[in-house]
Structures are given as structure tokens and as C-alpha cells.
Chains A and B, each alone.
Chain A
Amino acid sequence: MMTDTVEVAFTGTIGAFSLDAAFTVPATGVTALFGPSGCGKTTTLRSIAGLHRIGSGRCVVGGDVWQDGDSFRPAHQRPIGYVFQEASLFAHLSVRRNLLFASRRGAATGAIAFDDVVGLLGIGAMLDRSPQHLSGGERQRVAIGRALLSQPKLLLMDEPLAALDHATRDEILPFLHLLHTTLKLPIIYVTHDMAEVEHLADYLVLMSSGRVVACGPLAALQSDAALPLAARRDATVSFDGTVGNYDTSYGLLTLHVAGGSFVVPSAWIAPGTRRRVQVAARDVSIGTSPAESTILNALPARIISRSPAGEYELVVVLGLGIDGNGARLLARVTRQSWDRLGLAVDRAVYAQIKGVALT
């Protein structure tokens, strides 16, 4: 048994809802539980936290058995942090007392320091205020800080952005990013918003009607034509690359990914930095030669598979590189174009990419 994993298997019913969810994910980075409302993501997360006790369940985190057969460790004995959809701050305590609730003696001790969390989340100015006088975004930041200061070994987040408006969401997202990069804390993140998944997740668990549809690294699931993600109109593949050269005269950054390199308009970033890029299927077209055009990125690739998307279009999976063994991309093309260019599976082509989003 691997000890650096989160292993989960819950079978049972709650009211009329039946859950049968099993997956094993690495206990590092961000794992997103993604699916439509009512698919059982929150129930699964609550079961991991010990807030629900599912009929028959098994939950092993980093080698520690939290639930198995008749053994069940109650929520307050599990080293978790939990961020609810609504901040749920204690109304009778100041922001500071909320943050320090988990530390018995009123002072944070442990690997995650009080000042670091306050600085990271930018909540220093509101420590002595009452939660009632905070904005929605501020409250959610305090709630995240409070969860972190309980010194968790696993952070569980249940749609922490869903109750916020767009502007506030954009205010919090960078903090979540920072969390991810500064703290080596595994996160399980429930969401029904694909944009959040693309932004944050390393690993993805796809759920539907109480079942796990697929589970794996984000890019692998995004580029799997057999899964519903690839058929979405906004289908996108995210991958992490290493920053290379910077062309100061044109403001263009080179980013190396498996099997090729992208050129992206961007401000300067230190070479060697890991950054994530997103490429939407509708921004990728397929050419049989590296034609002269205004498109910056035309990378050699090979066609891996094709599958219909609606009546007139196809979703094509491309593998970057001459041999097609590099990172996978999706391209959305019409059936007419496919036939006109005489495309076929395993054929060497050029992936012409109109837009690469750097996050």
C-alpha cells in the first residue's frame, strides 16, 4: 500500500441519494472533484472529513486509516482543514479568535505560522473586527486562514468560490494559487466550475450521479476523447511547462512542454519557472504544412484519434512532436475540413494554435 495517497471508497445511501464513489489520488497537489450539482461531490468530501458516516466506507489518508469497516475516526480527530461554500465564521468571535479557534492556547503553533497565513491571505487589517463587518470575499479568506491554522495534513474545500460574485472570485483565486505553490499541502477541491479546475487542479476525479466516471491527471482526462469533457464546447487542455527564453523586442515568452514549445505574449518570467498554459479545442486547427500565417504556434504533431462532436464537427486528439508522444491537445474541426485535407489517424500534421492562455 502506498502511503502518500488518499484512498477513498464510499458506498451507501443518504435519503434517496445513493453514492458509490471510489478513487485513489496522490496526497500532493490539488485534486478536483468535478461534476454537476447533485452528483455526490460534496457528500464524498464530507465523508472524507468524517462529517457524514456512509453505510460502508473506507478512507485512508497518507497511510492513516480514518475509516474502515466498523472503525470510524470522528471529524474532530482527523487532521483536516475544511472550507465550506459559505465562510461560516463564528459570529460571536473576532476575526483573530476565529483564526485561532483551533489552537488551544490562543496562539498558533506548528508548521503553518499565524503571521504567514495572515500575510498570505491579506487579512492583517481586519484581525480585530467582527465577521459581520466583512465583505463576502474577506470572510472566505478568513475561513481559509482558519482552516490552515488548524495545521491540517489535508485541506478539503467545498466550492469555496461558488457563493461569491465574479469580482470577488477573481480576488480569491490568486490566493488559492499561492496556497498551492507556497504550502506543500494536499488539497481536495470540490467544484462544478471547469474554469476553476483548469486553474488549480493537478488531478481530477470526474463524478456523475454518485459514481466516479474517471480519475487521473488533469491533462490526461481533458484530452481523453471518450470522456464528456472533450465534447464540451469549451473543451480545454491544461498543461504545465517550463519557462524558457524571453524575446524582449517582441515581448514573447517560450514555454517548453512535452513534445514541443509554445511562444506566448507575456511579461518577463524567470527561466526555469513552472507555469500552466491552457489551450482551448476551438483555438486549435490542423494543417498539413507549417503554412505562413499570423499564427505564432504551429507545432508538429500526430493525430491520435477522432470522434464526432455533434452533427458537423469532430474532436481530434493530437499528440505533440513528430512521433506524437508529447503532450496531448484537442482540436475541434468540421467534418468537411477533415475530409478536404484527407486527414487520418496516425497522420503527421501541424497543430496551429491561435491562443495560449498563461495562468
Chain B
Amino acid sequence: MDALSPEIWTAIRLTVELATVTTVLLLIVGTPIAWWLSRSGSWWKEAVAAVVALPLVLPPTVLGFYLLVLLGPDGPGGRVASLWGARTLAFTFPGLVLGSTIYSLPFVVQPIRNAFAAIGPRPLEVAATLRASPRRAFWTVAVPLARPGFLTGAVLGFAHTVGEFGIVLMIGGSIPGQTKVLSVAIYDFVETSHWGEASILAGGMVVFGFAVILAMMLLEKRIGQSGV
């Protein structure tokens, strides 16, 4: 793989790192939201669901703009950053993680919410009549039964983070090793007329995207057949 310069390897490593951290964070943040959305009878739950789904329809630049304001020196992000002596969260890795998490949230919440809803109330009622506290019922019944939803959500969240561009460019810029992920690297290569590198990376992304989607479809088919 001599064709890949250290610069490209750095971008790949950073992208995988960002997608991994973001996916973990997405599962931690998305699961309680998905649980609440699937169980609550509250009338404003659909409003919350709509807010979660907003990144699906907004241009990344809109989200990026607001995040820039929030993370910048005058926003709450700047105040948080001042805790460790920094001036801003924008153009940093943590800022990128936050942006990616918000941007990919609907791709994780929706499948997990559907999986929780598909379980129905019965298994949890059964668990309650077998003395399981709501917490224990959640971990030993709801989560294992919703496993396909978690798998789909994690894969989509990871792949979508790998594939994002606009929001990264807005709040991350293009700092090698810190915020310069693959999609931004391709953009830079094209800007600087490095067509060879750009085409290698672009091709790689196409293969990656295809593999992820195919794997997920096969997985869903298998789970569907086993009747879980």
C-alpha cells in the first residue's frame, strides 16, 4: 500500500476513530431517547422525534452554522473549553464528535425505537410479574430482544459518520490528524488537483459504503428468517 501517503493514512485513522467514538456516544445517547419514544404516551413525544429527525432534512451547513456558534469562544462550548485552557471547541476533535453525534442521531434512534416498539408491552409485563424491576427488565429483556435494532443503528451511525462532509467542513475545518477526515481529504485533493489520490479514496469509500449496506441487508434477512 505504498500508493497511500502518510497523510492519507492519518486521515483514515482519524475517520475510523471519529466514527467509533461517535457510534459509542450515539448508542449511549440514542438508546434512552429511543426507549422513551417507543414507550411514552406523552403528546409531545412526536415533537421530540421530529427534533431528533431534523438532521435528515436540514442542509449540513445549517447545523454546522449553529454548532459553530455554540462551540465557538462566545458560546457554551467555549466556556467548556476554557476548563482546560482552550479557547474554543470548534475545529477540535471533541467538537467534531459532538457535531457527528447530532448529525447521525436519527440514523441510530429510528431503528432502535422501531425495535423497542416491535417487542410490544407483553415481554416487559411478563418480566414484571417475574419480579424483575424496570431496570432489570430493560437490560435482560428489552435490550436482548431489540438486538437487531441496535445492530442496524450502530452500523448506520458508523457509516453515516464516515460519510459526512458538510458539517465537518463547517465546524472542523481541515487540520491534519485532528479534523481532516477522509471526505475532507478528498475535497482537498481535488482542490489541489491531486486527482490520483482523490480517486483512490473516492473508490475506497464507494466500496466501503457498498459493503456496509450489503452486510446490513444480509444481516436483516438472516434475523428475519430466524424469527427473532
A90 near B129 with CB under 8 A, answer no
A82 near B129 with CB under 8 A, answer yes
A76 near B131 with CB under 8 A, answer yes
A75 near B227 with CB under 8 A, answer no
Q: Which residues of B have CB within 8 Å of A84?
A: 122, 125-126
Decide if B203 is an interface residue (CB 8 Å cutoff): no
A102 near B131 with CB under 8 A, answer yes
Query: A76-105: which residues lie under 8 A (CB-CB) from chain B?
Result: 76-77, 80-82, 84, 86, 88, 90-92, 101-102
Decide if B133 is an interface residue (CB 8 Å cutoff): yes
Decide if B123 is an interface residue (CB 8 Å cutoff): yes
Q: Which residues of B have CB within 8 Å of A162?
A: none
Asked whether A81 and B227 contact (CB < 8 A) given A88-B122, A92-B144, the answer is no
Which single residue of chain B is at the shortest CB-CB distance from A93? B144
Q: How many residues of A contact B (CB 8 A)?
A: 23
Chain A nearest CB, measured from B220 CB (Å): 17
Q: Mark A126-161, 1 if CB is under 8 A from B, else 0.
A: 000000100000000000001100100000100000
Decide if A63 is an interface residue (CB 8 Å cutoff): no
A88 near B123 with CB under 8 A, answer yes
Which single residue of chain A is at the shortest CB-CB distance from B119? A91
Decide if A190 is an interface residue (CB 8 Å cutoff): no
B125 near A146 with CB under 8 A, answer no
A90 near B123 with CB under 8 A, answer yes
Majority-rule SS of B interface residues = helix
In the complex, A49→B137 CA distance in Å? 17
Asked whether A76 and B123 contact (CB < 8 A) given A92-B144, A92-B145, A132-B227, the answer is no
B129 partner, pick from A91, A132, A150, beta carbons under 8 A = A150
In the complex, A156→B132 CA distance in Å? 17
Decide if B134 is an interface residue (CB 8 Å cutoff): yes
A150 near B131 with CB under 8 A, answer yes
Decide if A51 is an interface residue (CB 8 Å cutoff): yes
Inter-chain pairs besides A84-B122, A146-B130, 17 sampled, C-beta below 8 Å = A49-B129, A50-B128, A51-B125, A51-B128, A76-B127, A76-B134, A82-B125, A82-B126, A84-B125, A88-B122, A90-B123, A90-B145, A92-B144, A92-B147, A132-B227, A147-B130, A150-B131
In the complex, A50→B122 CA distance in Å? 14
Q: How many residues of B contact A (CB 8 A)?
A: 20
B132 near A101 with CB under 8 A, answer yes
B228 near A150 with CB under 8 A, answer no
A102 near B130 with CB under 8 A, answer yes
Decide if B141 is an interface residue (CB 8 Å cutoff): yes
In the complex, A239→B133 CA distance in Å? 42
Q: Which of A76, A82, A102 has the most CB of B within 10 A?
A: A76
Decide if A271 is an interface residue (CB 8 Å cutoff): no
Chain B nearest CB, measured from A141 CB (Å): 16
Query: B189-228: which residues lie under 8 A (CB-CB) from chain A?
Result: 227-228
Interface positions of B (Cβ within 8 A of A): 122-123, 125-134, 137, 140-141, 144-145, 147, 227-228
What are 21 A-to-B residue pairs whose CB atoms are below 8 Å? A49-B129, A51-B125, A51-B129, A74-B128, A75-B125, A75-B129, A76-B132, A76-B137, A84-B122, A84-B125, A84-B126, A86-B122, A90-B123, A91-B227, A92-B144, A101-B132, A102-B132, A132-B227, A147-B130, A150-B131, A156-B129
In the complex, A82→B123 CA distance in Å? 12
Asked whether A150 and B130 contact (CB < 8 A) given A91-B228, A92-B144, the answer is yes
Q: Which residues of A have CB within 8 Å of B126?
A: 82, 84, 88, 90
Which single residue of chain A is at the shortest CB-CB distance from B120? A88
Q: Which 10 pairs of residues, A with B, have the shortest CB-CB distance?
A: A82-B129, A75-B128, A102-B130, A76-B128, A92-B144, A150-B130, A88-B126, A101-B130, A88-B122, A76-B131
Q: Which of B129, B144, B227 has the most CB of A within 10 A?
A: B129
Q: Which residues of A have CB within 8 Å of B141?
A: 90
Q: Which residues of A have CB within 8 Å of B123?
A: 88, 90
In the complex, A238→B68 CA distance in Å? 80
Q: Which residues of A have CB within 8 Å of B140?
A: 101
Chain A nearest CB, measured from B21 CB (Å): 29
Chain B nearest CB, measured from A126 CB (Å): 18
Q: Which residues of A have CB within 8 Å of B125?
A: 51, 75, 82, 84
In the complex, A82→B141 CA distance in Å? 17
In the complex, A75→B145 CA distance in Å? 21
In the complex, A146→B141 CA distance in Å? 15
Which single residue of chain B is at the shortest CB-CB distance from A156? B129
A80 near B129 with CB under 8 A, answer yes
In the complex, A132→B225 CA distance in Å? 12
In the complex, A80→B123 CA distance in Å? 16
Q: Which residues of A have CB within 8 Å of B134?
A: 76
In the complex, A101→B132 CA distance in Å? 9
Chain B nearest CB, measured from A143 CB (Å): 8
Q: Which of B127, B131, B133 has the most CB of A within 10 A?
A: B131
